[in-house]
Amino acid sequence: MTKTDFIDEFLNKYENLGRLRTLKNLQAVSADKITIDNREYVNFSSNDYLGLGDLNSDINKELQTGALSSRLVCGNLDLNTQLENKISKWKGSENCLLLNSGYQANVGLIPALADRHTLIFSDKLNHASIIDGIKLSGAKNIRFRHNDITHLKELLNKYKNEEVRKIIISETLFSMDGDYCDIDTLVKLSKEHNSLLYLDDAHGSGLLGSKGIGICENKFEDIDIYMGTFGKAHGSFGAFTCCSSKMKRYLINKVRTLIFSTGLPPSLLSSNLSSIDKVINANSKRLRLQESTNTIRKFLNENKIATIESESPIIPIIIGEDKDSLSLSEHLKKDGIIAVAIRPPTVPEGTARIRLTVTASHTDEDIKQLLSSLKRWQSNAG
């Protein structure tokens, strides 16, 4: 038994039944016409009831909003294929599948991969969308302590004799703590235990490496599902999963948030295509971002302000009590700084915090303003 036998069984079964879906590349689409393989057809599969999303109008494509329908009906625009190919080439993955958002991706992908007979080993601090995806799947959720590889090993060994599908799920960069997962060990454990490895890189994509590929660079052959988004470092909207070609065929037929959702509109697809080039060529911005991040982290450490060690631009200031975190947020606001207080249930009880997120656009003056305000807060609190 291999970890992907279920994919082969599903694809063979659906092909024999004549139910296997495929994505048809469309050269041109409007509410009433559609072009497939250079032949124009009258389109009676569009949901663009008033014809307001005409993709063949003279309006610049960047302004076009209509995607007409699900990608499996008549919404698989050529831009989708261009974008998927570009992501695969950039990341170094075998294939790629676009989805509508990070949340929709996780609540669609996980139930497609898991059922009530599946064991999912999930980091305790994984995002709400991962938790919801696991709930929808009906799988047994076996949580390991945050970034605690020893605990994960113990749990995997506990269930090593269970002849069922197993999936290890983790974020790469955790959105509230700002720390990275131990990707090398996760890859190693997934191989040792014949488990699928599912990584959510929503916050990490674009931040590290010479081209912004991130901590998964050169590891895509060992990652069964890699989920990334355009809503963070790319400054746009949408999501994608990097995977094998076989996995993609399977997902096209199983991911309900793909099958039953209207695809991304041309305006966003065009934006996302251009955003990849911008991310690839943003080395100077990544350097600037890291310098600003290091400055803030150095200040927090020198002034013994509680944070979580990492090199990421997500910098939590751990306060503890909800009211104290709100107080610091208000103090910063009076000094012209917005830094939102994050409280339970978003974070565990007793770990209310200010979550600072640094950007490459922050100037030296912006950083000085923040640090001066934090210094005054610390003096007043002391």
Is 175 an active-site residue? yes
Is 171 an active-site residue? yes
Is 182 within 8 Å of 188 (Cβ atoms)? no
Burial 312-339 (b: 16+ CB within 10 A, else e): bbbbbbbbeeeeebbbbbebbeeeebeb
Is 362 an active-site residue? no
User: Phi and psi (nearest 5°) for 49?
Assistant: -60, -30
Residues 250 and 244: their CA atoms lie apart, in Å, by 10
Among the options 200, 205, 267, 275, which is catalytic? 200
DSSP three-state, residue 329: helix
Among the options 48, 84, 123, 171, which is catalytic? 171
Residues 29 and 75: their CA atoms lie apart, in Å, by 8
Among the options 203, 211, 219, 248, which is catalytic? 203
Sheet containing strand 239-243, strands side by side: 95-99, 239-243, 225-229, 196-200, 166-171, 119-123, 140-144
Sheet containing strand 341-342, strands side by side: 314-320, 352-357, 341-342
Q: Given CA atoms 174, 176, 178, 182 in this order, what sign does their dihedral have?
A: negative
Among the options 30, 48, 127, 141, which is catalytic? 127
Is 203 an active-site residue? yes
Is 46 within 8 Å of 31 (Cβ atoms)? yes
Q: Is 343 exposed, middle or buried (0-12, 13-18, 19+ CB in 10 A)?
A: middle
Among the options 175, 271, 272, 373, which is catalytic? 175
Q: What would the two tokens of residue 128 be?
A: 């709400």
Is 48 an active-site residue? no
Is 200 an active-site residue? yes
Is 41 within 8 Å of 35 (Cβ atoms)? yes
State the DSSP code for 71.
Answer: I
Contacts 24+ apart (CB under 8 A), 58-66: 61/266, 61/267, 61/270, 62/266, 62/267, 62/270, 62/271, 63/267, 64/265, 64/266, 64/267, 65/265, 65/266, 65/267, 66/31, 66/265, 66/266
Is 272 an active-site residue? no
Among the options 3, 33, 47, 246, which is catalytic? 47
Q: Which amino acids are annotated catalytic?
A: 47, 127, 171, 175, 200, 203, 232
